[in-house]
Amino acid sequence: MTRTAPGVAAVVTALLLGVTGCGSDAGATVGTVQTPAAKSSGAAVQKAPKSALAGLVVLPRGYVADPRSAAGPFTATTFLANWSAVPAVDRALLLNAGFVDGYRASRISADKKKQFTVQLFKAASAAKAKTLQQGFWDQDTHEHSFGVPGALSDAKVQYDGGTGQSEAIAEVSFVVNTLVVQLSVRQASALGTDPKPDTALLKAIAREQRARLTTSKS
């Protein structure tokens, strides 16, 4: 997930949301979600080698490809250039984890209001994957877990100084073997409105993503 540097966003409150519809544009169906075919839409990511991780990603049904966000396999270099909020710190984390490769996919809801992102990071060992997960997670303030078993989770509404809007964010992070999984769903709305983090969607996706990875040799 694309993270913001500490102190950039002021957390206003944390809210919970009911269940939403889910979906994808390609791949085999897994429960209420699907796994995508490997493809890339961003210039930097297109240069990365093909990744076996593409077939492991789970996407929400009913969401479509996001033309605003690059997707596909990534190397440490492309991750640091495109999505890292603190490249120097993340470079050290990836180096210490023995980072092998990664994969990112992003989708938007049919009404264009919500953006879902999944990122997979493959580390050299399960222990290093846990350290990498915690290192990423500790870069932001997380105060409102919404109870995803075996995972780190957070739901919040914050002010986005770049757009002048409120942004509802739900995030989940967990580890399966040597893979770090980061899931997020974001919804921006005008100040004074009441956006709610879509925790129900992430709970469903996290459950299906864990099952997909557990039954695969990751």
pLDDT value, residue 26? 33
Q: Is residue 2 part of a domain?
A: no
Distance CA 36, CA 57 (A): 6
pLDDT tier at 122, thresholds 50, 70, 90: very high
Report whether pLDDT(146) > 70. yes
169 domain residue, yes or no: yes
* pLDDT band of 68, cuts 50, 70, 90: confident
Q: What is the pTM of this model?
A: 0.77
5: in domain: no
Residue 97 in domain = yes
- Evaluate whether residue 3 is within a structural domain: no
Domain that holds residue 68: 10-214
Mean pLDDT value of segment 176-183? 98
Domain count, the chain: 1
Q: Which two tokens stand for residue 90?
A: 């993340």
3-state secondary structure of 29: strand
Q: 202 in a domain, yes or no?
A: yes
Distance CA 79, CA 127 (A): 21
Whether residue 4 lies inside any domain: the answer is no
The string of pLDDT tens digits covering residues 90-105 is 999 999 999 999 999 9
Cβ pair 136, 91 in contact under 8 A: no
Q: What phi and psi, each to the nearest 5 degrees, are found at residue 167? A: -130, 120
pLDDT at residue 116 is higher than 90: yes
pLDDT in tens, 9-55: 433 333 333 333 333 333 322 334 444 443 433 434 344 456 789 99
Domain membership flag for residue 95: yes
CATH code, 177:
3.40.1000
Axis crossing angle, helix 126-137 with helix 87-97, rounded to the nearest 10:
170
- Per the prediction, the chain carries an average pLDDT of 81
